[in-house]
């Protein structure tokens, strides 16, 4: 286990360094002038040149590269051209919103996706199975941002069941900051109205983000369960007179979990990529919207910082999946 963790940490460092190098090179060769963007549309040439000197953009490429990498090694992600704050401070402010959206989406994916997959496998070939498989096909075929617009049009605009955008109502103050997750912070503060309001604002973004990934979870769970339900040890367990729910959950499902866990680990990456456009549609102040605003504004350091944070989350989630493998099947550790 310790060896696996060490390998993953070294891999993470190398991947982050490689990503930083690639992203820095790409941002330098793009036909855009960040100094002109930072100065504004009506800026005079001398103002743009002064900003270019302040940001160090007038220096040779290799000097800019070594300055940025040395700062990165110290934990300095540079300064945002858009907000004029440290990128690390911007990411710290934006991360809780994306984390809250991803956590709730992950809960929906795990609970609903796995449940539907188990039901579809147990009743394989039935109408219920066909209905679940139809939902899987539909869910996998709709991009998250298209579903977000559809949900917004129906449930926010037409029916007015849920809020259109944002994390809270305009006139409602955020709860006292503890974790940055409004739902949890409002619970800790005992602010029940804020808690329910935050859940209502989460409903549509979570649905848009989770439906497609939920469909993938149901599909993988169904395939794994069908394979394990046909194994001799399952037939033996049934022949011994064990209750059906015990056979399904304790014997079949546990052995079908490895491909399901693999799928769930991969879904973290899809959740983060899907969150980019979903956050834009719902005006959700998270990492995804921050990255889009940074790209549009040619805020290169902010783009690199957001990409590195997402890469860390992705690699860490895959490391957790590898550790779960060992817990689910100790034979993996012996290989």
pLDDT of residue 328 exceeding 70, the answer is no
pLDDT of residue 331 exceeding 70, the answer is no
CATH number at residue 306: 1.10.3720.10
Sign of CA dihedral 31, 35, 41, 46: negative
Name the phi and psi angles at 67, rounded to 5. Answer: -65, -45
Close Cβ partners of 249 (under 8 Å, ≥ 6 residues apart) = none
**Please, which pLDDT band fits residue 63 given cuts at 50, 70 and 90?**
confident
Give the burial class of 140: count Cβ atoms within 10 A of its Cβ; 0-12 exposed, 13-18 middle, 19 or more buried.
middle
SS3 state at 86: strand
The average pLDDT across 215-230 equals: 81
Query: How many distinct structural domains can be found in the chain?
Result: 1
Task: Give the span between the Cα atoms of 4 and 319, in whole angstroms.
Answer: 8
Give the dihedral of Cα atoms 294, 295, 296, 297; nearest 10 deg: 50
Q: What is the pLDDT of residues 135-148, one digit of tens each?
A: 888 877 788 888 88
Task: Give the span between the Cα atoms of 306 and 88, in whole angstroms.
Answer: 9
**237 vs 289, more confident:** 289
Close Cβ partners of 193 (under 8 Å, ≥ 6 residues apart) = 172
Q: Indicate whether 285 belongs to any domain.
A: yes
Query: What are the C-alpha distances in Å from 116 to residues 108, 109, 207?
Result: 12, 10, 16
Task: Give the span between the Cα atoms of 181 and 101, in whole angstroms.
Answer: 9
Q: What is the pLDDT of residues 160-208, one digit of tens each?
A: 889 888 888 888 889 998 889 999 999 999 999 999 999 999 999 999 8
> Which DSSP state fits 284?
-
Q: Indicate whether 266 belongs to any domain.
A: yes
**Please, which pLDDT band fits residue 274 given cuts at 50, 70 and 90?**
low
Q: Indicate whether 268 belongs to any domain.
A: yes
Q: What is the pLDDT of residue 175?
A: 92
pLDDT of residue 216 exceeding 50, the answer is yes
Q: Indicate whether 261 belongs to any domain.
A: yes
Q: What is the pLDDT of residue 327?
A: 65
**93 vs 215, more confident:** 93
> Which DSSP state fits 299?
-
Q: Indicate whether 282 belongs to any domain.
A: yes
Task: Give the span between the Cα atoms of 202 and 184, in whole angstroms.
Answer: 13
Domain membership of residue 296 as a residue range: 87-332
Q: What is the pLDDT of residues 66-114, one digit of tens each?
A: 887 887 778 778 788 777 788 888 888 888 998 888 889 888 888 888 8
Task: Give the span between the Cα atoms of 21 and 308, in whole angstroms.
Answer: 11
Q: What percent of the chain has pLDDT over 70?
A: 90
User: Contact 35/51 with Cβ under 8 angstroms?
Assistant: yes
List the end-to-end C-alpha distance of the chain, in Å, as a whole number: 12
Task: Give the span between the Cα atoms of 319 and 212, in whole angstroms.
Answer: 24
Q: What is the pLDDT of residues 3-22, one digit of tens each?
A: 767 777 787 778 778 877 88
- What mean pLDDT value characterizes the chain? 81
Q: Indicate whether 43 belongs to any domain.
A: no
Give the burial class of 157: count Cβ atoms within 10 A of its Cβ; 0-12 exposed, 13-18 middle, 19 or more buried.
exposed
DSSP string over 160-217: --S-SSSSS-TTSPPPPPSSS-HHHHHHHTT-HHHHHHHHHHHHHHHHHHHHHHHHHH
User: Contact 168/201 with Cβ under 8 angstroms?
Assistant: yes
The average pLDDT across 208-227 equals: 82
Q: Indicate whether 64 belongs to any domain.
A: no
SS3 state at 79: strand
Q: Indicate whether 223 belongs to any domain.
A: yes
Q: What percent of the chain has pLDDT over 90?
A: 9
């Amino acid at each position: 286990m310790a060896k696996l963790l060490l390998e993953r940490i070294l891999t993470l460092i190398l991947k982050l360094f490689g990503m930083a190098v690639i992203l820095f090179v790409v941002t330098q060769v793009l036909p855009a002038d960040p100094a002109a963007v930072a100065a504004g549309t009506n800026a005079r040439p001398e103002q743009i040149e002064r900003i270019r000197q302040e940001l160090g953009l007038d220096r040779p490429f290799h000097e800019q590269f070594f300055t940025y990498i040395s700062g990165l090694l110290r934990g300095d992600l540079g300064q945002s051209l858009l907000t004029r704050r440290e990128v690390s401070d911007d990411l710290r402010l934006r991360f809780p919103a994306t984390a809250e959206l991803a956590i709730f989406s992950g809960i929906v994916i795990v609970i609903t996706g796995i449940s539907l997959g188990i039901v579809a496998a147990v009743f394989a070939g039935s109408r219920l199975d066909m209905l679940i498989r139809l939902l899987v096909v539909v869910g996998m075929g709709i991009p998250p941002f298209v579903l977000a617009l559809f949900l917004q049009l129906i449930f926010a605009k037409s029916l007015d069941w849920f809020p259109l955008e944002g994390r809270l109502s305009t006139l409602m103050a955020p709860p006292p900051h503890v974790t940055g997750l409004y739902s949890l912070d409002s619970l800790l503060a005992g602010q029940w109205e804020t808690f329910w309001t935050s859940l209502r604002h989460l409903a549509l973004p979570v649905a848009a983000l989770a439906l497609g990934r939920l469909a993938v979870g149901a599909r993988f769970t169904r395939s794994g369960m069908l394979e394990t339900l046909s194994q001799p040890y399952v037939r033996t367990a049934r022949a011994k007179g064990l209750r059906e729910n015990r056979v399904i959950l304790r014997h079949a499902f546990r052995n079908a979990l490895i491909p399901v866990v693999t799928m769930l680990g991969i879904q973290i990456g899809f959740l983060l990529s899907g969150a980019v456009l979903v956050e834009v549609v719902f005006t959700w102040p998270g990492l995804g919207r921050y990255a889009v605003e940074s790209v549009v504004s040619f805020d290169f350091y902010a783009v690199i910082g957001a990409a590195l944070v997402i890469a860390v989350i992705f690699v860490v989630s895959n490391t957790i999946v590898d550790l779960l493998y060992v817990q689910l099947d100790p034979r993996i550790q012996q290989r």
